[in-house]
Structure 1
Amino acid sequence: MASDPDTIERDIQEARDALAATLDTLAERAGPRRMAEDGMDVVQSRLSDPRVKYPLIGVGVLVVLLLVRRLFR
C-alpha cells in the first residue's frame, strides 16, 4: 500500500485520466451521429440482400401501375 502523498496523488491522476478516456470512448459510441450511421449501414445491408431488394422493387412497380391506372380512369 502506497503511503507517500506524491504516489497517492499520481495514482489518483492516472485513475482520472483512465476514467476520462473511458468516458470519451462511451460518448463517441453513444453519439447520435454514430448511431444514425450504424442504423443506415444496417438498412443498406438489408436492402442489398436480393431476397429483400427484388420484392421491394416488385411492390414499387405494382404501386406505380395502380397509381397510373387510377389517374387515367
Structure 2
Amino acid sequence: MARDPETIEREIEQARTALASTLDQLTVKADPKKLAESAKDGLRAKLDNPKVKYPLIGGGILVVVLLVRKLLK
C-alpha cells in the first residue's frame, strides 16, 4: 500500500521535531558545569554527615601527628 508523500513528509518533520527536543534535553542534562555543581553538592552533603565528617577529621589528625613524630625523630 503506497503512502502519500505529504504524509511521509509530515511524519519526517514530526520525527525531526522530536529528535531536536531530545537533543535539547540531553544538552541540558550533560552540561559539564551542572554536572560538576551537582557532584560538588553531593560531596558536601556527604561530608556534612557527622558519621563521615568526624572520622575524616580524626584520620587527618592522626596523619598529622604521625608526620610530626617522624619529622622530630
Scaled by the length of structure 2, what TM-score is found? 0.71
* Equivalenced residues, count: 71
Structure 1 counterpart of 2:28: 28
Q: Percent identity?
A: 54
Q: Which amino acid aligns with 1:36?
A: A
- State the alpha-carbon separation in 2 of the partners of residues 25 and 11 from structure 1: 21
Scaled by the length of structure 1, what TM-score is found? 0.71
- State the alpha-carbon separation in 2 of the partners of residues 20 and 59 from structure 1: 50
* Bigger mean CA offset, 22-31 vs 12-21: 12-21
Report the CA distance between 1:54 and its aligned residue: 0.4
Report the RMSD for the aligned CA atoms in angstroms.
Answer: 2.3
Spell out the pairing of 1:1-73 with structure 2 (5 A cutoff). 5=6, 12-13=12-13, 15-73=15-73
Structure 1 stretches of at least 4 aligned residues deviating more than 6 Å after TM superposition: none
Cα deviation code 1:5-25 (max 9, x no counterpart): 4x8756654543343122111
Q: Structure 2 unaligned segments of length 5 or more: list them.
A: none
- State the alpha-carbon separation in 2 of the partners of residues 21 and 34 from structure 1: 19
- State the alpha-carbon separation in 1 of the partners of residues 30 and 53 from structure 2: 30
- State the alpha-carbon separation in 2 of the partners of residues 21 and 41 from structure 1: 28
